[in-house]
Amino acid sequence: YMGTEAAEVAPAAEVPPAIGESAAVAGLPVALNWCTAVGCTPVRDQGSCGSCWAFGTAGVMEQNIRIVDGVSKDLSEQYLLSCNTDGWTCDGGWWAHDYNWWKVPPGEPGPGAVYEAAFPYLATRVSCNPPHTHYEQIADWEYVGASNGVPTVAALKQAIYDHGPIAVAVCAGTRFGSYTGGVLTIGDTCSKPVNHGVILVGWDDSLGTNGAWILRNSWGPGWGEGGYMKIAYGISNVGYGASYVVRGSMPHGPLAPTGLKAAGVSTSRIDLSWTDTSSNETGFRIERSPNGTSSWQQVATVGANVQAWSNTGLPLSTTYYYRVQATSDTESSPYSNVAQARTWPNLSDLDESFYLPLAERSFRR
């Protein structure tokens, strides 16, 4: 399963650390998972062949087609394994996006994706046996940063947001291999910076201590959480050599609501109002907390263009904190500012001097 070719990567000392960055990135949602927002193709299994580089290449192309075209296509990793002219085999390789862009192996009619049905995966390098019919092509592909380093968390998030799931390398050791669920927070150390190619389909800043990537592996759905992993930012050199393909545009989610205000208007009701800054939301999610920092819970959802809501049935003399998030079919916006308010006390329980008009209080003296 360790298939990223060592010759393609730099010495470990050259990998810049990504640990210690702020998880939040201005203008981006706190969480995005393209597999839940739009959908992902089924998890593949590379078997005993070190062809993770081919699965990473085909995988980001499949997800791009799923997001941009709204259809699921099963692309042939075997075509990349058998027909590439770079010498990449089951002993390792690197991102083969050029074959979906401009590179044409001998005997092939042109570049572009080949479908799985035309060249099924065999987990070994066999004869290319051209020609094959080619379909979807990309307009370009790029590294997120350097080809031999780990980009910043912010740069990786921006690439996923702008271009969809990205192909990345990672150091996959014992901890990675034995992962069964949850957030992997302690990474592996490898003899080289990385040794395995995977796909990042999203992130979630609320996971672990400082956020985590949503990683898609190619070891079948029986590994990890249905073939996926949550891995903390900045460990195991995850993100090394990150690359994305250019084909179509990603559907972007709504902007965060602004100017959230809260006001207690009775012993049991607090009114909220905010400014809708988006034109593409499908609704708003309203969350409440007893302290403003933790224990947030969703208390209501409202439709698109709504800019007010009343929280009723509350206990008297109680303070609550609120935040609002715009939602769409693809993702959720960052949260609004936090606003707080307190329900009224029972006036009959107060000393009348607290609520008698000033003139009457002066007269009673």
Count CB-CB contacts under 10 A for residue 176. Answer: 26
Instruction: Specify the pairing of strand 166-170 against strand 196-204.
Output: antiparallel
- Rounded Cα distance, 210 and 248, in Å: 32
Q: Which of 3, 195, 198, 192 is nearest to 91 (CA)?
A: 3
What 337-342 contacts at long range (C-beta under 8 Å, 24+ apart), as own/partner pairs, is 337/258, 337/259, 337/260, 338/260, 338/289, 338/292, 339/260, 339/261, 339/262, 339/272, 340/262, 340/292, 341/262, 341/263, 341/264, 341/270, 341/271, 342/264, 342/270, 342/317, 342/318
Using alpha carbons only, give the angle 350, 355, 358 rounded to the nearest 5 degrees.
Answer: 145
- Catalytic member of 64, 217, 237, 311: 217
Burial of 117 (0-12, 13-18, 19+ CB in 10 A): exposed
283-289 vs 297-303, strand pairing mode: antiparallel
Q: Annotated catalytic residue: which of 52, 83, 128, 171?
A: 52
- Cis before 357 (ω within 30): no
Q: Are 75 and 113 in contact (CB under 8 A)?
A: yes
Whole-angstrom Cα Rg for the chain: 26
**Catalytic-residue membership of 52:** yes
Q: What does the angle CA 272 – CA 274 – CA 279 come to, to the nearest 5 degrees?
A: 140
* Cβ atoms 255, 278 nearer than 8 A: yes
Q: Which two tokens stand for residue 291?
A: 């302290």
Is-catalytic flag, 217?
yes
Task: Please confirm, yes or no, whether 64 is among the known catalytic residues.
Answer: no
Which positions are catalytic? 52, 196, 217
